Structure 1
């Protein structure tokens, strides 16, 4: 039997203007999720027992009907959360206008080393500023990090101390091809992660769940054996309405398919195997650490 689904990660657009070089998004396309496809998806997901949706991107604040996306999910009795990189005035305004309707907002940011690798401008300070402009019960700073030093970790701790903002951490996961281009090996990457963890541990209280995630990630990268099957309770839907058990899954079903076909897909045992990228997406907890 498959794991019962409870939430769905929904891509609102097939493109993203940030375009990090280390991005683990599974889809690359143009265009926005249409209201017709989205409404049908909500109906089918509700029938399957989905209780909440998380709007992701591309960048969800770029969607021309963002408020409608949120309100439609609420009308179906679903909680709505969002993952965003909103920084510009227009993006933050769009987010703030619907923030009170959301249960959670996660704003993505990159450490200095990750900024260089990804060629982005998503600083932690600007992410905290975005979160400060949003009236939402739960706020999360999601930090993708690489090559941290003590000074930067101390600054990060100071940014969130006393704000009520939770922190979720994701080490940069470089592909083997990217590592080869930089003259690095998987072992080099693992050693860098260990150094970063030690630095973070000096300024944050790292949760047991996060340390377990790092251990699992290490095993996935080192093991030559096949990984365990997907056990996620979160579905993924692309902007064109294709539903998968995993963003990287090989099998999918369209929300425009007959009900019986969708039900059979969701009831079938998952055949996808866990890989480093999807393990980063489907972690259950948003809070990985607390400022020391």
Structure 2
């Protein structure tokens, strides 16, 4: 019997210097994932039929043994990808040393409105610069969107078209604390997500699955529907930097990679008990994230 999750998202660190105001990460801690825990994690995941891992953070390029993490996964016969916010010369340099070993690299960026909301400086242009500097065959720019303008979308479409990279989008999802802090309501958030999708649709061919996801997100957040929750459908398991496996980053149930094999197998193959929340709706979907979030420039079709 194999796991319901053919891939796994692995946190390489429990902290992150970027500290986005809208970060999806559910766990916070100090320190890096140690190689002994990581090796045991790979062994257990391989036994469960996991075929690929994605290294995330914190920021994976800050891990002092990043190259070893990548090589270990490949030695287990797994494909390796990475999600990074690398912009600084040292970060991009570290990424470049392992880029040729990676199946794909996703560089995170934020729209202008999202940068203001999350207090970040991850522009799409600097994200493209990072992707241009590495040798990975598949390069993806992932843009978190909030309060988009037509001119910003047109500039973004020109950027990704010229660079020849894939582009993915995610709307900002604000939790109750963030809503209170920024003086916004759930309805404000829903309206903005709808407006941003309309703007994106004028410059990009958004996938049907992405539009369906926005509908699901609306239903989860809407006070008029009661926020109906469905059971987790994540196709990607999550491993925290301290070695705990969950069905997704926001899953309440977990099992340590140091637990007996039978216990880990039972956890990963048993029906999910966690229910989806707006925070993790982007992850807890049945298909692959790259298929669901992807878009192409309208001018290219």
Coarse TM-score class (shorter-chain normalised): over 0.9
How has the CA–CA distance of structure 1 residues 205 and 276 changed in structure 2, closer, same or farther, with 3 Å as cutoff? same
The answer on whether the counterparts of 2:7 and 2:235 sit within 8 Å (CA) in structure 1 is yes
User: Which whole-Å CA distance do the structure 2 matches of 1:123 and 1:109 have between them?
Assistant: 5
The answer on whether the counterparts of 1:145 and 1:169 sit within 8 Å (CA) in structure 2 is yes
> Runs ≥4 in structure 1, deviation > 4 angstroms?
none
User: Which whole-Å CA distance do the structure 2 matches of 1:7 and 1:137 have between them?
Assistant: 19
The answer on whether the counterparts of 2:107 and 2:130 sit within 8 Å (CA) in structure 1 is yes
Question: What corresponds to 1:289 in structure 2?
Answer: 295
The answer on whether the counterparts of 2:87 and 2:127 sit within 8 Å (CA) in structure 1 is yes
User: Which whole-Å CA distance do the structure 1 matches of 2:36 and 2:128 have between them?
Assistant: 34
The answer on whether the counterparts of 1:140 and 1:167 sit within 8 Å (CA) in structure 2 is yes
User: Which whole-Å CA distance do the structure 1 matches of 2:137 and 2:95 have between them?
Assistant: 14
Question: What corresponds to 1:118 in structure 2?
Answer: 118
User: Which whole-Å CA distance do the structure 2 matches of 1:265 and 1:179 have between them?
Assistant: 34
Question: What corresponds to 1:77 in structure 2?
Answer: 77
The answer on whether the counterparts of 1:33 and 1:239 sit within 8 Å (CA) in structure 2 is yes
What is the SS of the residue equivalent to 1:280?
Answer: coil
What is the SS of the residue equivalent to 1:230?
Answer: coil
Question: What corresponds to 2:36 in structure 1?
Answer: 36
User: Which whole-Å CA distance do the structure 2 matches of 1:107 and 1:254 have between them?
Assistant: 29
Cα drift, residue 288 of structure 1: 2.0
User: Which whole-Å CA distance do the structure 1 matches of 2:189 and 2:227 have between them?
Assistant: 20
Question: What corresponds to 1:54 in structure 2?
Answer: 54
Task: Report the TM-score when normalising by structure 2.
Answer: 0.93
What is the SS of the residue equivalent to 2:289?
Answer: coil
Number of matched residues? 292
User: Which whole-Å CA distance do the structure 2 matches of 1:251 and 1:181 have between them?
Assistant: 29
Cα drift, residue 281 of structure 1: 3.1
User: Which whole-Å CA distance do the structure 1 matches of 2:284 and 2:168 have between them?
Assistant: 12
Cα drift, residue 75 of structure 1: 0.3
Give the alignment partner of residue 270 of structure 1, picking from 272, 277, 281. Answer: 272
Cα drift, residue 3 of structure 1: 6.3
- 5+ unaligned residues in a row in structure 2: which ranges? none
What is the SS of the residue equivalent to 1:276?
Answer: coil
Question: What corresponds to 2:151 in structure 1?
Answer: 151
How has the CA–CA distance of structure 1 residues 171 and 104 changed in structure 2, closer, same or farther, with 3 Å as cutoff? same
What is the SS of the residue equivalent to 1:139?
Answer: strand
What is the SS of the residue equivalent to 1:22?
Answer: coil
Question: What corresponds to 1:26 in structure 2?
Answer: 26
User: Which whole-Å CA distance do the structure 2 matches of 1:65 and 1:130 have between them?
Assistant: 20
Cα drift, residue 215 of structure 1: 0.9
Matches within 5 A, 1:204-215: 204-215=204-215
The answer on whether the counterparts of 1:166 and 1:290 sit within 8 Å (CA) in structure 2 is yes
Deviation string 1:103-156 (CA, Å, 9 cap, x unpaired) is 010000011111111111100000000001111121110101111111111110
Matches within 5 A, 1:163-174: 163-174=163-174
The answer on whether the counterparts of 2:86 and 2:92 sit within 8 Å (CA) in structure 1 is yes
